A and B are shown apart, each in its own frame.
Chain A
């Protein structure tokens, strides 16, 4: 099994373990004896699994190497972070509601008394933790705050985790009396804390970064090409998080477009508020770099590369260090947008394995598999590497699936944080 397939099975397993421990504690007949005990059981299970997933969600945000490898790339790790985080939140949200159903059997007032802060400190902590989580996630999902404010509201989740931990520690139940199960759950809360502190308070201390200066700024169409005065070890196809000091404190991911032995360069398209400011950067300004990350690329002797728009950037580095055969489909709306085409044509005179096929959707419509097969011949033996907008990659992935192309031959990356 490839490393990159381990992420999700590991999560299923880690989520299943507390369920199994819970099952072993009491016979099922008492767990689901009546409505009241059934609701209690659901309430307990949602808390157990939800807490484990919450801890994992924090860990998925660390950009740790082993995590990235387990999910086959940082883009996929972040997608898992979103999905598992949401699943965790829903479980923790329904945890008190299940338990309230049990109280509802006694009286509505009892259920209401249970759901609002009262005389029980353990329950109060749980309520406060969940309320903080709801507030923070409302800002994450439903209010568009801009990156900097969003980050602060998202960090409230660390406090939420802290309250949840106290809640878990002092809540009396037959679950918390099972020492092993309790330690298992607490362990995930602690993983969450380690991950949280690693990315927040201790980030400057623990996360390796480089400081460089901008040495060149070029502009073509709506893309800014930035070169900086330094090198880091990386594999072509990888990206790095960059912070341009003159624009603010934000870090954004950009693919490296230079060859592995040259000064680092990046291609940045005006897409949002931040990237628009990149055009105004000046030579000599400071850049802080975190990375490299990512694992786009393949070692197959024959490859098909499909780049959509600014998704061309990782292929620039890959083309410069090419030592296999690759057909690069460079898909843009119209000719003026193919800002890397000239450089690519130059590279192909030196790297003979590279064939560049520009594709203009304003002329030919969206790119499809039929066009690629007509141009490159049988693609079933070749590895396919894709980087581009989600819609383009989605339709291509779908038709490749229908064609029965083996998933292991497909390599792609999509960044839309």
Chain B
């Protein structure tokens, strides 16, 4: 009982410390996107169906646009771009870390993955956190 008590306490302290650090980091960091990525502003349309016009986005003046054939070139695990709801994302970093499995992303690399993202093929959309994460990988709009 003594050993297990120590193990339990130490484990709990480590987990609590991790959470505290995370909360502090989360509230001080203003830049949500990793370096080198275009910082996209939140758009209420991000949940709306395919075809949302990118011109509605306030930051569109600086946003790059890509054609579907350009996106199609990035179709491997080491270079994976995807179209989701009219926007282009570079998901290379996410391929092997995806909660829903790497296969779920790989099957749509270089393609329009809106259906997959919006429904996960089971009628449920991704969480708000996942949507925010997706935004951080934004590279431009589809023309």
Contact = CB atoms under 8 A, between A and B. Distances in A.
B136 A107 contact: yes
B128 A111 contact: no
Contact of A108 (B4, B7, B22): B22
A106 B133 contact: yes
A177 interface: yes
B7 A90 contact: yes
Nearest to A35: B97
B129 A113 contact: yes
Interface of A is mostly: helix
Interface residues of A, number: 49
A118 B126 CA distance: 11
A416 B1 contact: yes
A173 B101 contact: yes
A93 B93 contact: no
Nearest to A111: B22
Contact of A82 (B4, B18, B122, B129): B4
Given A107-B34, A108-B26, A36 B130 contact: no
B99 A173 contact: yes
Contact of B22 (A34, A82, A94, A112): A112
B100 interface: yes
B61 interface: no
A40 interface: yes
A271 interface: no
B99 A36 contact: no
B69 interface: no
Nearest to B24: A108
Interface string A17-45: 00000000010001101101101100000
A107 B32 contact: yes
A306 to B, nearest CB: 23
B96 A172 contact: no
Nearest to A121: B124
Interface stretch (B8-16, B51-59, B82-90): B8-16
Interface stretch (A95-103, A194-202, A325-333): A95-103
B42 interface: no
A102 B9 contact: no
A94 B9 contact: no
Interface string A73-102: 000000000110110011001100101101
Nearest to A134: B12
A115 B136 contact: no
A221 interface: no
A86 B7 CA distance: 7
B63 interface: no
B48 interface: no
Interface string A115-128: 10011100100000
29 contacts: A30-B77, A31-B96, A36-B97, A40-B98, A40-B99, A86-B8, A90-B8, A97-B15, A104-B22, A105-B93, A107-B33, A107-B34, A108-B29, A112-B23, A113-B127, A113-B128, A115-B19, A115-B22, A118-B128, A120-B127, A134-B12, A137-B8, A141-B5, A141-B9, A142-B8, A173-B99, A173-B100, A174-B101, A174-B102
Interface of B: 1, 3-5, 7-9, 11-12, 15, 18-19, 22-23, 25-26, 29, 31-34, 77, 93-104, 120, 122, 126-130, 132-133, 136-137
